[in-house]
Amino acid sequence: MSIASSQPPVAHRTAKPATRHTAPLAHARHHAHLRPVPDHAVEPAPSRRIGEVGTVPAVVSENLLVPTLTGAVDYANFDHAASTPALVSVKAAVDTALRTYSSVHRGNGWASKVTSAWYEQARAEVRSFVGAREGDEVVFTRNSTDSFNLLARALPRDTQVFVFETEHHAALLPWAARRTHRLPVPGSVADAETLLRAALKEHHGRHRLVVLAGASNVTGEVWPVRRLAAIARRAGARVVLDAAQYAPHRPVSLDDLGVDYVVLSGHKLYAPFGAGVLAGRADWLDAAAPYLAGGGATKAVTERGVEWQAGAARHEAGSPNVIGTIALAAACNALRTNGSAIEAHETELGDRLREGLSAIDGVETYSIFGPDHERVAVVTFTVDGLDSSLVSTVLSAEHGIGVRDGKFCAHLCVDALLDDPYAAGPTTAVRASVGLATTAEHVERLIAAVTELAAHGPRAAYVHGPGGWAPQHDPRALDVARPW
């Protein structure tokens, strides 16, 4: 079910006057030989200091060399919004945990005791990271998608769900269709508030849940969570916060933000080991059937039936991802300890990136609430006359830059942002997302590369096949050896 917006759903665009530069794809400026990439691991650089506000944690991929059409360069990672590299401290925690890795909660051997203790200590670390209240549960899952699906299964019968169409598919799709009310892409913060008030007033029910993003995975804009959560509370509704894009960049507190549940993913928090979290109020979770039926979720099994556990164990059946949860806890500790330095690092680079891309003729950048709205370091853009997939391919092949192209698992949001009733504009976009693996040199390299691409097109010739765009003559060795 959809609700009409009080303002046009087309979001703000920021662009210089566009001049179409469609360079012929057969044009090739040069064909140089590829210099070999060393096959040994490069030692990660030490943590970087930012003024007096702390340390920027090091990632294991620092100084990673990648091949381009003309040689090897330091990899410029602008794909943090999809997945982040591991922190050095996270890898160290994993290496330590692997020595005593064993079963949890079911063994009296020393290794099992140690592993069980670390698993529950990881839960306590995550509890602190999300600012959980007394009585809140912290349930470990696989990722944010898994967490939202768990919560959807745990909702009381006939719960009405309210979700903006700006949401990532993980937060948009798990809910029962006939009880879900979709709110269109708002034109401003005030519009978002008006839409939510109207929807809550129109659709009553004993149980209602509002789904909110902390930060948009498309534009990086920080949503007015406190203001929207207050509207929901006044109407007697609960709120679940999608913090997948928010938690890596800003402090999270269930109580301070005024939300009932929070969802996040380790692979976006510099702990890419397959763990996620659903944290929040226990009553709906304890009243629901277990998410998975199996060992660990059971208190007793008899011929007459099953008595299920309460608390987090109720939804964590089977042998859990111990290594993933320890990695997640290590990442949460590092981010919480060095939050000020991380925010300063990302703000400096993000501001320069937005400023640089917005100044390029033929490039458009996009926003939901307007170009001056607060955001994390994410910029979504298009290059006039060039397919977004070609842009990302050229940036990688010619400049060693990693970005994301497409609709970013937020199709309704991207469609609204790119919609232009007066022109046959692009249907997909490019997203550049800054993180701890990004440096000032990477930002300048990306700005220079997009400037050149918008003005002159690709340097080399590219062809489009079943796998997408690729250089017509590619000297890079794509048959990379397996790591095992």
Instruction: State the DSSP string of 248-292.
Output: TTS---HHHHT-SEEEEEGGGTT--SS-EEEEE-HHHHHHSPPSS
Matching residue, tokens 């490069």: 42
**Strands, sheet with 137-141, edge to edge from the N-terminal-most edge strand:** 137-141, 276-280, 261-265, 238-242, 208-213, 160-164, 180-183
Rg of the chain over Cα atoms, rounded to whole angstroms, equals 24
The single residue of 243, 326, 409, 460 carrying the catalytic annotation is 409
Long-range contacts of 174-180 (CB under 8 A, 24+ apart): 174/145, 174/148, 174/149, 175/211, 176/152, 178/1, 180/1
Give the DSSP letter string of 444-459.
HHHHHHHHHHHHH--S
d(C-alpha 2, C-alpha 31), whole Å: 53
Is residue 413 annotated as a catalytic residue, yes or no?
no
Residue 385's nearest CA partner among 364, 409, 362 is 362
**Distance from C-alpha of 438 to C-alpha of 353, rounded to nearest angstrom:** 11
Pseudo-torsion of CA 16, 20, 24, 25, nearest 10°?
Answer: 50
User: Is the sign of the CA dihedral 414, 416, 422, 424 positive or negative?
Assistant: positive
What is the number of other CB atoms lying within 10 angstroms of the CB of residue 302? 7
| H or E segment and range at residue 465 | strand 462-465
**442/77 Cα distance (integer angstroms):** 8
Q: Which of 217, 218, 180 is nearest to 199 (CA)?
A: 180
Catalogue the active-site residues. 409
